[in-house]
Amino acid sequence: MIEDLWYKNAVIYCLSVGTFMDANGDGIGDFSGLERRLDYLVGLGVTALWLMPFQPSPMRDNGYDVSDYYGVDPRYGTLGDFVAFTHAAKQRGLKVLIDLVVNHTSDRHPWFQSARSDPDSPTRDWYVWSKTKPPHADSGVVFPGVQKTTWTYDRAARAYYFHRFYDFQPDLNTANPRVQAEILKIMGFWIQLGVSGFRMDAVPFVIAEKGPEVTGAPVEQFGMLRQFREFLQWRQGDAIILAEANVLPRQDLDYFGEDADRMHMMFNFQVNQGLFHALATATTERLLDCLEKTRARPASAQWAQFLRNHDELDLGRLSAEEREAVFAAFGPDPDMQLYGRGIRRRLPPMLSGDRRRLELAYSLMFTLPGTPVLRYGDEIGMGDDLRLPERECARTPMQWSDEPEGGFTKSARPVAPPIRSGPYGYPHVNAAVQRHDPNSLLNWLERIIRMRKEVPEIGWGDFTVLRTGAESVLGLRYEWRNNAVVCLHNLAAEPIEIRFATGLPGEGGALTDLLTGERNPPDESGRHTLLLEGYGYRWYRAGGLDYLLKRSEV
Ligand code: GLC
Ligand code: CA
């Protein structure tokens, strides 16, 4: 199988076309606008984009309710604009991943419309029906408090249909071979138009057995994942699937495949929750536990590490006590919380806009085992608008400048209200201002991204936890091909002096700070002493040529 492991050392940037940049002035972001911003993204240093759904949709779930898998929603442009965009991205060396939302369709999709109106419809069996209401219909909802049930009666069909998510998102009967064939066709279509893979939505539900008789934990059809991967790679060797699968660590290998024949990448939800627990409590134990539990993976498989995404920060895998600690620190107000399990804010307001803490959080995320995923606006420290419902609060338009509507659109009626006032309003927080300020978050992040790309050890190598003797300090060492880096993060507000050994053969010699060039030599016992400021961080490359030579003799 021809493969290209580009994703091992990538930096992924995720965005919604509709809220990124509006080129034609109708108030809605579009592909032409995105194309004009590609040089900004290349300048930032990201190497791959992940686009949230942009296919035709009634937009009742931010596009995660697709009504035509083979098109571009006219609000965003045409298929022609899409191809112009992928071409322009390719010219600049940017890979494009797109969302693949095939657990369910919109209820407006012609497949569902046909299925519900005629029992003999060719797509009737593409959905999941029941004559009577299944007894467990009210369990297993994904959006508690907003979504009441997973089975809803449809009068035209005279039957209940299954929907894991909202009632306007009927689940596809993914066990049906025709549905499976259609999913492959959809992948093949977009591959042909220039994408390098997919962020596959809700994977555990895609492969779950569905039906009125299914009770308790559904059985997954893992074979399907291999089928998806094989098809993709036979068509295009460097194409990948990045799975959204918030599962327990013992299931990770089921998703990656023991022989690395299933998902190439998975978001590390486990570590994400441990990370926020660490930031909230200034202790590293829980995070280390998450890192250990998700250590095992096939060599070519990769974790995607992230801070916040377009959904709520899901803390469902923490204990009640741990979750309370994160709520207390970052989302004490019930209005900041969502679905009884998460926080719906963006990162900067959670960290009180404190630059030191933001740098710490990003630096930490960039040095966790895997590939970092940024969300648009993170690079300038965008905030949220809690007056907007549910997850919409963290999906406001990109703030480009201090012009009206933050330079996102020339229209006075933007698709979603940009943040206009307050500390996170576009007059203060915008890309144009930050570009001119060498000390801005944007320019800092650009440097961190450059540094991360120069440290392939993190994406490719194995990590070792260093003993720093301080519970607030996370020390990780990565090694790959005779090179090693050491990353240290102090989660606490107070400065701390630590002593540590790198554990490298011959003690690895002096450490060189990748940001400042400063050297930290070992003492006679081979250990290093370091004063870390409150929320301080360091990235060191271990040893010099000497160390390299020693290792390559082995
Ligand atoms: C995923 C998406 C979320 C969406 C859901 C239903 O969890 O991230 O935004 O609502 O799937 O498609
Ligand atoms: Ca537009």
Mean pLDDT of the chain: 95
CA torsion through residues 115, 117, 121, 125, sign: positive
Question: Ligand 2: distance of its center to the CA of 241 in Å?
Answer: 29
pLDDT bin (cut points 50, 70, 90) of residue 552 is very low
Q: Judge whether 201 counts as a catalytic residue.
A: yes
The single residue of 73, 81, 201, 479 carrying the catalytic annotation is 201
Question: Ligand 2: distance of its center to the CA of 410 in Å?
Answer: 10
Tens digits of per-residue pLDDT, 356-401? 999 999 999 999 999 999 999 999 999 999 999 999 999 999 999 9
Same fold, 6-103+176-453 and 110-162: no
pLDDT bin (cut points 50, 70, 90) of residue 553 is very low
Residue 224 has pLDDT above 70, yes or no: yes
Asked whether 95 and 87 are in contact (CB, 8 A), the reply is no
Is 73 a pocket residue for ligand 1 (Cβ < 6 Å)?
no
Q: Can you give the pLDDT at residue 508?
A: 64
Is 99 a pocket residue for ligand 1 (Cβ < 6 Å)?
no
Residue 507 has pLDDT above 90, yes or no: no
Residue 294 has pLDDT above 50, yes or no: yes
Question: Ligand 1: distance of its center to the CA of 201 in Å?
Answer: 7
Q: Can you give the pLDDT at residue 216?
A: 77
Q: Can you give the pLDDT at residue 554?
A: 28
Residue 545 has pLDDT above 50, yes or no: no
Share of the chain above pLDDT 90, in %: 93
CA torsion through residues 289, 294, 299, 303, sign: negative
Average the pLDDT over 221-226 and give the result. Answer: 97
In the chain, where the domains are located: 6-103+176-453, 110-162, 461-552
Q: Measured between alpha carbons, how far is 420 from 406 in angstroms, rounded to an integer? A: 8
Tens digits of per-residue pLDDT, 103-138? 999 999 999 999 999 999 999 999 999 999 999 999
Q: Please give the residue that has the higher pLDDT: either 357 or 542.
A: 357
pTM value surpassing 0.85: yes
Side-by-side strand order, sheet with 159-162: 129-130, 159-162, 151-154
Average the pLDDT over 246-254 and give the result. Answer: 96
Average the pLDDT over 339-355 and give the result. Answer: 97
Is 64 a pocket residue for ligand 1 (Cβ < 6 Å)?
yes
Q: Measured between alpha carbons, how far is 522 from 537 in angstroms, rounded to an integer? A: 19
Residue 421 has pLDDT above 90, yes or no: yes
Q: Judge whether 244 counts as a catalytic residue.
A: yes
The single residue of 81, 220, 244, 457 carrying the catalytic annotation is 244
Q: Can you give the pLDDT at residue 217?
A: 79
Instruction: Give the residue from 80, 73, 89 showing the smallest Cα distance to 29.
Output: 73
- What is the radius of gyration, based on Cα positions, of the chain? 24
Is 405 a pocket residue for ligand 1 (Cβ < 6 Å)?
no
Asked whether 200 and 206 are in contact (CB, 8 A), the reply is yes
Write the residue with the smallest CA distance to atom 8 of ligand 1.
Answer: 311
Q: Measured between alpha carbons, how far is 388 from 148 in angstroms, rounded to an integer? A: 21
Question: 66: which residues sit within 8 A by CB, 6+ positions away?
Answer: 53, 55, 56, 57, 101, 105, 106, 109
pLDDT bin (cut points 50, 70, 90) of residue 274 is very high
Question: 226: which residues sit within 8 A by CB, 6+ positions away?
Answer: 257, 261, 262
Residue 525 has pLDDT above 60, yes or no: yes
Write the residue with the smallest CA distance to atom 2 of ligand 1.
Answer: 201
Question: 120: which residues sit within 8 A by CB, 6+ positions away?
Answer: none
At residue 330, the 3 state secondary structure works out as helix
Residue 354 has pLDDT above 50, yes or no: yes
Residue 547 has pLDDT above 80, yes or no: no
Say which ligand is closest to the CA of 171: 1
If one residue of 54, 64, 314 were mutated to test the ligand 1 pocket, choosing by the most ligand atoms within 8 A of its CB, it would be 64
- Triad 398, 401, 404: Cα angle to 5°: 90
Residue 1 has pLDDT above 80, yes or no: no
Say which ligand is closest to the CA of 63: 1
Is 201 a pocket residue for ligand 1 (Cβ < 6 Å)?
yes
Question: Ligand 2: distance of its center to the CA of 31 in Å?
Answer: 8
Write the residue with the smallest CA distance to atom 7 of ligand 1.
Answer: 202
Q: Which amino acid is at 3?
A: E
Ligand 2 ion local residues (Cβ < 5 A): 22, 24, 26, 28, 30
Write the residue with the smallest CA distance to atom 6 of ligand 1.
Answer: 64
Q: Can you give the pLDDT at residue 481?
A: 86
Write the residue with the smallest CA distance to atom 12 of ligand 1.
Answer: 64
Q: Can you give the pLDDT at residue 4?
A: 85
- Superfamily (CATH H level) for 110-162: Oligo-1,6-glucosidase; Domain 2 (3.90.400.10)
The CATH class of the 6-103+176-453 domain is alpha beta
Tens digits of per-residue pLDDT, 13-39? 999 999 999 999 999 999 999 999 999
Which overall architecture, per CATH, does domain 461-552 show?
Sandwich (2.60)
Q: Can you give the pLDDT at residue 337?
A: 98
Instruction: Give the residue from 247, 245, 222, 103 showing the smallest Cα distance to 164.
Output: 103
* Ramachandran region, residue 261 (left: φ > 0; alpha: ψ -120 to 50; beta: rest): alpha
Tens digits of per-residue pLDDT, 63-83? 999 999 999 999 999 999 999
